[in-house]
A and B are shown apart, each in its own frame.
Chain A
Amino acid sequence: MGVLHRLRWAVASAGTVPLLTLASPSFLKVAGVSPSWAVLWLLPWSLADGPLSGALAGVGLGLLVDSLQVGPETQIPALALLGWWWGRLARKGPPIERSLSLGLLALLGTLFLGLSLLLQRHGISLPEPLLRQAGLHTLLAQTLVTALLAPMICSLLLLLWRRQGAISKS
């Protein structure tokens, strides 16, 4: 694990995720769908702080995001897996910094998260046409807007977390 999780304000910044989810600013929507703020926060955190911290942050973030939903579906397993995967990618390979890479990782992460929710709602059977249409609309729009925002938001957050990590180490 890195040193980022020792910074209390950095951990507390996860609190903005449910608030942004509730606010869902209209100017950041595509076809009426907001980005996945959980993915946009978790991606730079995991890349900067490693797989274990990423997975634990995914669990914590999942608890927060799940509390905003009435239904029994949960985002915890998907977010924990994504946190672990992104942390591992950063540790095993060269540093991930390019906008395209961040956008691609966010796209895959949002797609995985959305599919896990769809799978929990409808199982492996295909839902009715109306439901399928609504589910696919949300999934595709959220994936698109998250991937478009990731290069801007994630690269700034990644820079911030890496600087803070370096300051804490020194």
Chain B
Amino acid sequence: MPIGRLPRLEPLRQLLRSWPWGLLVLALVAVRLSKGAVLSDAYALLSRPFWPGSAQREWLQSATGLEQLTRQAHLEQDNRRLRRLLDLQRANPDKLTAAVISREPEGWWQQLVLGSGQAQGIGPGDAVVGPGGLIGRVASVTPTTARVTLLTDRTSRVGVWVGRTQRHGLLTGLGTSRPQLVFLEKDPQVRPGDLVVTSPASTLVPPGLSVGVLQSVDDKAVPAPTAVVQLSAPVGAIDWVQVLVTSPAARQAP
């Protein structure tokens, strides 16, 4: 073999020739690892003209009026109690109205996608409320979208409080329309119809947000009684939500 000539490596040449396919595979893996951030942003851009109109927004605002009034009294009472007991400076979250731009049947009770994101100040962990009360928390954000993990998702765990008996519990999603409330005590003294709000001790979501109503209670569950909760917000049919945007400084704090 003459010096300076390399043997013909056909497989290597074929591999070099197929570099566009390699790029495509890398791009697909990147999309997968980013949880579809590019796809969500592209969809938000394309579907912007078809987002729910202003009429629906007004209807939703008037429907939430009554809920706001009842919740306000509870929040004020709770805030006073917390500040007195803990002397804790809590960040007051801003409310941001966002449209629901996508829901998928495979993850109907797991997640939804909002048409506002990082650019509007939304960050992971922000609480999301619908007409009636809390529906979930922001799981991830892109510049123009936010993916919300619903309370009904199996990975969702939120500390809640039954106001009438002042008992704490852990609200756990089951992947269906009704999450389960696991109490921390043997005898929580609750009954169907009791109102459930977010725990005054919760660090994940603002305290005192309406969550739902106890539908049925299983006193014989082991190790602690459980209850099925009917969420007060219509998670199954919701077009607009409000994101309780916490400030970046408050988000970084433990």
By a beta-carbon cutoff of 8 Å, the part of chain A in contact with chain B is 11, 18-19, 21-24, 32-34, 60, 63-64, 66-71, 117, 121, 128, 130-131, 134, 138, 141-142
Contacts and interface: CB of A to CB of B under 8 A. Distances in A.
B170 to A, nearest CB: 18
A134 B175 contact: yes
Contacts of A19: 39, 42-43, 46
Given A71-B110, A134-B176, A23 B36 contact: no
Contacts of A117: 106
Contacts of A68: 36, 39, 104
Interface of B: 24-25, 28-29, 31-32, 34-36, 39-40, 42-43, 46-47, 101-111, 113, 139, 147, 149, 153, 155, 174-176, 178
A23 B47 contact: yes
A121 B154 CA distance: 11
A66 B175 contact: no
Nearest to B36: A67
B104 A70 contact: no
Contacts of B35: 67, 70
B104 A71 contact: no
Contacts of B40: 22
* 5 smallest beta-carbon distances between A and B, as pairs: A67-B36, A63-B28, A22-B102, A22-B43, A33-B105
Contact of A66 (B24, B32, B103, B155): B32
A138 B98 CA distance: 27
A67 B32 contact: yes
Nearest to B113: A22
B36 A18 contact: yes
A19 B153 CA distance: 23
7 contacts: A22-B102, A23-B43, A60-B24, A68-B104, A69-B106, A69-B107, A69-B110
A63 B29 contact: yes
B39 A70 contact: no
A155 B64 CA distance: 48
Contacts of A22: 39-40, 43, 47, 101-102, 104, 113
A18 B113 CA distance: 13
